[in-house]
Structure 1
């Protein structure tokens, strides 16, 4: 029975580590617990009356919630591993009084100390397998801290790339180039660079899906509001006479199609055409799509 309880704790630890792995290093379209938490917070914010003020907090708050969920699951999992073997399999420092506390409380305390890599030494494993398991928890705690810092440092550059593309599209919309103006070498270069940026954003949504739940600020920096105009530019380019302009316009249209597919598969589930997906994307972010 003791080993069944410990195995339950090990299962909790594996659930947390699997979710961490798939969120940070091997994202899948099916997501995991972290994506469910983020999606739930996003939907909840969308139903609040003060959506504009609340939605900007969803992304950072969701990341904090997910990291807290990982930490609590790992701590509780290791505490459950230790619990059936407490206090017989452990040595307590003289005068600490820890052995007089409830066994579950001692187990949670030891788990907290180990995952934080404090190494206080007031509770020490006495059995051989625990002497191996306890340092392993400290190693997992270090991995969790490193992964959290890396996650924060990696997500914000993806938001910057998305906002740069959005502002660029907003400026182009303000200029409103015609087919004639795009029908030149500069137009081909412009459409090609836009296609490259769209591909980068598509990869960001694949690798860092949590970026979807970050608010982009004003309309001119919101990709949800401006991405529809990129479709209009691709259509203008495909009507040009120059072959290189038509080619880069086709590349831009293909990149937009791929982006719409990722958005629809992972977040929106409209099963519609790219224009419908981009309209749903704008609506989900509380934006009015930029017209042609």
Structure 2
């Protein structure tokens, strides 16, 4: 039974490491556990009558993912230690080994190790356990570092998305005429937008969790403003200037790629790019409303 518990604990640890890998370091996949938590919190936020729930959905879900990762890893290693307590551990003179061999004591040992605080008053003496304990500390340090890197990468992606939405909003509010778009400056403008849209597509692939961060209504919401980029591409596609038409085609291709990423990863409409963007606007525009 002891080895069965240890095997179950090892499986839990490997499950967490796999989820961390697919969430943070694999650019084409999304961790199963993290995705369930993210989508679950997002749906709860959509069902909530409080608009404040929209802005909290992403940060709360992200904190929950990290907490579940840490808790599952702690419990997994505790299951590894527990069957071998107290025989394979050393205790200080003030503690009776028989009184401190329960599962809660194994959790305590696991917490001490994963937090990289060093060995506490209960330490392993068995050869293989003396190797496992430092390995847990290394995983704890890696988990902490990965969480910091995740945060540092995710929030710049959100800033790029909101910046693109604001730029599209500026263009929509200035109402550029067909003659203004049908010029060399118009081609440069379309090329810049196509580049920015492509960057957002990569951000959604690399940081899929960013989808569940609500930008709010208005000028910084890409879900609300992306239709302006579609309209501009349609307007420029009828231009007389060949470079403008070429740039419009490039922008259209970038928008199609963005729609494909949104649909394949989140929306599942299987519709046209315009239909996907409409579903994107609904999904984000209705969050937090009664």
Deviation for aligned residue 1:121:
3.2
Deviation for aligned residue 1:31:
4.0
Aligned equivalent of 2:259: 260
Matches of 2:28 and 2:46 in 1, distance apart?
25
Aligned equivalent of 2:36: 36
Matches of 1:260 and 1:116 in 2, distance apart?
42
Unaligned runs of 5+ residues in structure 2 are none
Deviation for aligned residue 1:103:
1.8
Deviations 1:59-117 (A, max 9, x none): 11011000000000000000001111111111111113464135211111100000011
Deviation for aligned residue 1:2:
1.6
For the pair 1:122 / 2:116, whether they are aligned, the reply is: no
Matches of 1:287 and 1:165 in 2, distance apart?
21
For residue 244 of structure 1, give the secondary structure of its aligned residue in structure 2. Answer: helix
For the pair 1:71 / 2:70, whether they are aligned, the reply is: yes
Aligned residues of 2:90 and 2:123 also touching (Cα < 8 A): yes
Aligned equivalent of 1:94: 93
Matches of 1:252 and 1:153 in 2, distance apart?
29
Matches of 2:100 and 2:174 in 1, distance apart?
72
Where do 4+ consecutive residues of structure 1 move more than 2 Å? 27-31, 96-99
Q: Alpha carbons of 1:98 and 1:147: their partners in 2 closer, same or farther (altered >3 Å)? A: farther
For the pair 1:216 / 2:228, whether they are aligned, the reply is: no
Q: With CA pairs under 8 Å and 6+ residues apart, which has the higher RCO, 1 or 2?
A: 2
Aligned residues of 2:109 and 2:122 also touching (Cα < 8 A): yes
Matches of 1:161 and 1:287 in 2, distance apart?
22
For residue 111 of structure 1, give the secondary structure of its aligned residue in structure 2. Answer: helix
Unaligned runs of 5+ residues in structure 1 are none
Matches of 1:152 and 1:56 in 2, distance apart?
16
Aligned residues of 1:98 and 1:106 also touching (Cα < 8 A): no
Per the normalisation by structure 1, the TM-score is: 0.95
Deviations 1:142-184 (A, max 9, x none): 0011111111111110011001100010111111212221111
For residue 220 of structure 1, give the secondary structure of its aligned residue in structure 2. Answer: coil
Aligned equivalent of 1:6: 6
